[in-house]
Amino acid sequence: MVQRLTFRRRLSYNTKSNRRTVVKTPGGKLAYQYTGKIPTVPKCGDCGIKLNGIKPARPAEYARMSKTKKTVSRTYGGSKCHVCVRSRILRAFLVEEQKMVKKVLQAKAKQDAEKAKKTATKSKKPKSK
């Protein structure tokens, strides 16, 4: 006949926080052993893929872990994946580059306008006979 088991905690419902497995004790009896919730790997804030190099843990465990296990030594390490960081850097560079191109084009347009103005004033001078 199968040995009956009793809960070791007060919670008697089959919930996610009350998961348990049956183990055999050294005394030969069967007992419940409570299993914790499965930890998840943090995901990228932009694209949602799992972040490499970061230890999966429950939120309370992260508070006790060292910084090296929670982050990667890179900009946005532990928050964004390498692909998203690269695209952000590239986008920022291209935006700055676009601003510079715009300034150069404005300066050139201004020079052309001044040149056209000078040539227009020279041709308007009356010729004396």
Strands 30-34 and 20-24: what pairing? antiparallel
Q: Cα separation of 86 and 123, whole Å?
A: 55
Give the pLDDT band (50/70/90) at residue 124.
Answer: low
Confidence of residue 117 (pLDDT cuts 50, 70, 90): confident
Looking at residue 128, its pLDDT comes to 65
Predicted TM-score of the model (pTM): 0.66
Taking CB atoms within 8 Å and a gap of at least 24, the contacts of 101-106 are none
- pLDDT (tens digit, 9 = 90+) per residue, 58-113? 999 999 999 999 999 999 999 999 999 999 999 999 999 999 999 999 999 999 88
CB within 8 Å of 128: residues ≥ 6 apart? none
| Mean of all residue pLDDT scores within the chain | 91
DSSP per-residue letters across 118-129: HHHHHHHSPPP-
E strands of 1-129, at which residues? 20-24, 30-34
